[in-house]
Amino acid sequence: MRGEAPVLALSGGVGGAKLVRGLANVLAEGRLHVACNTGDDFEHLGLLICPDFDTVIYTLSGLVHSGQGWGRADETWQVLGEVAKLGGPSWFRLGDRDIALHLLRRQALDNGMSLEDVATLLCDRLGLTCSVFPASNERVRTLVHSDDGILSFQEYFVRDQCKPKTQAITFDVDTAAKPAVKLNALLTASDNLAAIIFCPSNPYLSLDPILAVPTLRQRISASRCPRIAVSPIIGGSAIKGPTAKIMTELEIPVNPLSYARHLDGLIDALVIDHRDADYVAELEADGLQVFCEHIIMSNEDDKLRLAKTVMRIAEGM
Amino acid sequence: MRGEAPVLALSGGVGGAKLVRGLANVLAEGRLHVACNTGDDFEHLGLLICPDFDTVIYTLSGLVHSGQGWGRADETWQVLGEVAKLGGPSWFRLGDRDIALHLLRRQALDNGMSLEDVATLLCDRLGLTCSVFPASNERVRTLVHSDDGILSFQEYFVRDQCKPKTQAITFDVDTAAKPAVKLNALLTASDNLAAIIFCPSNPYLSLDPILAVPTLRQRISASRCPRIAVSPIIGGSAIKGPTAKIMTELEIPVNPLSYARHLDGLIDALVIDHRDADYVAELEADGLQVFCEHIIMSNEDDKLRLAKTVMRIAEGM
């Protein structure tokens, strides 16, 4: 039964995590599987930082700092303060509670666990009932080619505050990279999926690194399950993050049409905001089913409603 | 000139660190070099913990928690509290400020630095003016064979609180282990050393792992500079730690004579406490110069006075 079939969500950080939280609350326990962008991952202070994965699990567990959308609420900063005093790097804001999770990750990786098994361990420790994992266990990292040189995503985004002008985005992909075991299993039986959902995440910085995992693009392209995207662009800008700035610098019009065409062949339906209704005709001409909704998620009700909408669309396809 | 010649101290943790602090204050900047026991080192929570080295540098910098003799004063415990909540191990007490230093160490090791270069970096960050380093860059770890099986030293000492009965102590020595570069250089010119000082540290758990570094025992044995030990045993017990318990379990009498004979051929002079004066005749019969002093270091004055005594003995030899 499709109503019990698994749902695969592809997610970046803050925006994607909000829809993931809605989906987790709408879907029966065990139905939701979330493949996270690893393009932002990086080594820092001897730790492996997985910003998007962590944002998703903190959001799902309710531990997230809701004001900023990432990191933990009730956080303290003793370690980072001392790192700074010792002359170490403090530009990446790792709170004490966040560091605790990173130490567990580091220990598990040192013990030989794969990144996705570590993900399962952390989901379990946070009491999550859905499955969240990296799109790949191997290295797939985003490189921002800018007028300041080639930067890792977090150098660009956090350290340099998106100031450098983007010239191109590429991915540093391990030659052995392949989809995570869980993702591979879901895609092998992709016709049985209730839906593949592209969460509202930056197409260039969050979805593209997932699609850069070898075979993923072709397999999603060939899948016959409902494939639904929620636009991360509303009224000519992005809700959060550098999407709009980067699109402008890459000379791409900031609208849902650019977004949809970027995912050409990968999606069947697109959910856009009411205020972008002007694009419906063109999007439909591209062969997409288009749904105009209120897609800004400012509170838990918004997340739930949008998740229900997305699942209703999937069931109707 | 011997008065400007380098001094090499061999040190374990708390007790050794106290004499090291005295020596650092007595000797001109740059004269003191401290080779630390690595037998207690272990991997924990993805970090490399170097208990004796850290105790020495925290003691030298004045950051140490003087009440307990290890760790930092004004410490907080946010990370460890969260580690425990996440089901991770919290038996080894790593405070937040301490974790900051461990993250810098981990980062530097990940960047390919040797353990002794990391040591130099950390000494520099703490503003130390003497040189403190591990006896070896390679793995030399203490194994406590007990009635609970084979334990790493920290498992035995901290986790199991020295409760298991010791049957034997051995060392897990990397086949490539050799003295640290700095230590090798000092020993290559050992006749130019003003002294080699065996700080008051556990002979089985702190000095033996240093001497287990291949070639060290022979080279110290062959050295013609003054070699002076300060007894860690006073009046039939040890000031701190499991020395006395282990000696009893290994059926070794707990007195300075056992200690001196354990270091047979490696030392020329021994400083013992007044209350062990009864052993002077036997120690002298073994060919040692023996000095009875007040050797408990309860405050900064005690450390300074004992350091001055040791250096005066060295200059008189």
Q: Please list, in sequence order, all residues whose beta carbon lies within 8 angstroms of the beta carbon of residue B189, skipping any fewer than 6 positions away.
A: none
∠ Cα A46 A51 A52 (to 5°): 150
Question: How many CB atoms lie under 10 A from the CB of residue A159?
Answer: 13
d(CA B190, CA B175): 25
B82–A46 C-beta distance less than 8 A: no
Task: Kindly indicate the confidence band of residue B3, based on its pLDDT and cuts at 50, 70 and 90.
Answer: low
Give the gap in angstroms from C-alpha A107 to the nearest C-alpha of chain B. Answer: 4
pLDDT tens by residue, B204-260: 999 999 999 999 999 999 999 999 999 999 988 877 778 888 888 889 999 999 999
Distance from CA of A94 to the nearest CA of B (A): 11
Question: How many residues in total does chain A contain?
Answer: 317
| Cβ within 8 Å, pair A100-B88 | yes
Selected for mutation to probe chain B from A61, A63, A79, A115 (highest B CB count within 10 Å) is A79
Q: Which residue of B has its CA nearest to A74?
A: B78
Q: Does B96 touch chain A (CB under 8 A)?
A: yes
- Cβ of A88 within 8 Å of Cβ of B103? The answer is yes
Q: Is B82 on the interface with A (CB under 8 A)?
A: yes
The model carries a pTM of 0.93
Which member of B44, B82, B125 has the closest CB to residue A100? B82
Surface of B (48-67) touching A: CB under 8 A: none
Chain B contact for A76 (CB, 8 A cutoff)? yes
Does B87 sit within 8 Å of A125, measured CB to CB?
yes
Spatial separation of the C-alpha atoms in residues B206 and A271, rounded to whole Å: 67
Res A69: pLDDT: 85
Is A118 an interface residue toward B (CB < 8 Å)?
A: no
- The pLDDT, as a whole number, for residue B4 is 86
- Cβ of A109 under 8 Å from any chain B Cβ? yes
Residues of A in Cβ contact (< 8 Å) with B47 = 46, 103, 106
Nearest to A82 among B81, B86, B100 (CB): B100
Residue pair B199/B10 in contact by the 8 Å Cβ criterion: yes
Interchain CB contact of A78 with B (< 8 Å): yes
Q: Which of B43, B79, B107 sits opposite A96 (nearest CB)?
A: B79
**Interacting residues of B12 by C-beta distance below 8 A, sequence separation 6+:** B36, B37, B40, B52, B199, B201, B202, B205, B206, B207
For B126, the closest chain A residue by CA position comes to: A86
| Pairwise CA distance, residues A180 & A68, whole Å | 29
In angstroms, the separation between the Cα of residue B113 and the nearest Cα of chain A is 12
Q: Do A46 and B43 touch (CB under 8 A)?
A: no
Angle, helices B96-110 vs B115-125, to 10°: value is 140
Question: A149: which residues sit within 8 A by CB, 6+ positions away?
Answer: none
Provide ipTM, 2 decimals: 0.91
Q: Indicate yes or no: CB of A97 within 8 angstroms of CB of B82.
A: yes
What count of residues does chain B have?
317
Distance CA A40, CA A189 (A): 28
CA distance B104 to chain A (A): 6
Asked if B125 lies within 8 A of A87 by C-beta distance, the reply is: yes
Nearest chain B CA: its distance from A84 CA (Å): 9
Task: Say whether B101 and A86 touch across the interface (CB within 8 A).
Answer: yes
Q: What is the pLDDT of residues B146-162, one digit of tens each?
A: 999 999 999 998 999 99
Query: Mean per-residue pLDDT for B99-128?
Result: 97
Q: Do B44 and A107 touch (CB under 8 A)?
A: yes
Q: Chain A residues with CB inside 8 Å of B107's CB?
A: 44-46, 88
Residue B286, pLDDT score:
96
Residues of B in contact with A109 (CB under 8 A): 46
Euclidean distance between CA atoms A314 and A253, whole angstroms: 28
Predicted confidence band of residue B1 (pLDDT cuts 50, 70, 90): very low
pLDDT on residue B292: 97
The span from the CA of A54 to the CA of A63, in Å, is: 10
Residues of A in contact with B46 (CB under 8 A): 46-47, 103-107, 109-110
pLDDT in tens, chain A (317 residues): 346 899 999 999 999 999 999 999 999 999 999 999 999 999 999 999 999 999 999 999 999 998 888 899 999 999 999 999 999 999 999 999 999 999 999 999 999 999 999 999 999 999 999 999 999 999 999 999 999 999 999 999 899 999 999 999 999 999 999 999 999 999 999 999 999 999 999 999 999 999 999 999 999 999 999 999 999 999 888 777 788 888 888 899 999 999 999 999 999 999 999 999 999 999 999 999 999 999 999 999 999 999 999 999 999 99
A90 touches chain B (CB under 8 A): no
Distance CA B121, CA B111 (A): 13
Residue-level pLDDT at A244? 82
Q: Given an 8 Å threshold on Cβ–Cβ distance, is B44 in contact with A104?
A: no
Mean pLDDT of the region B92-118: 97
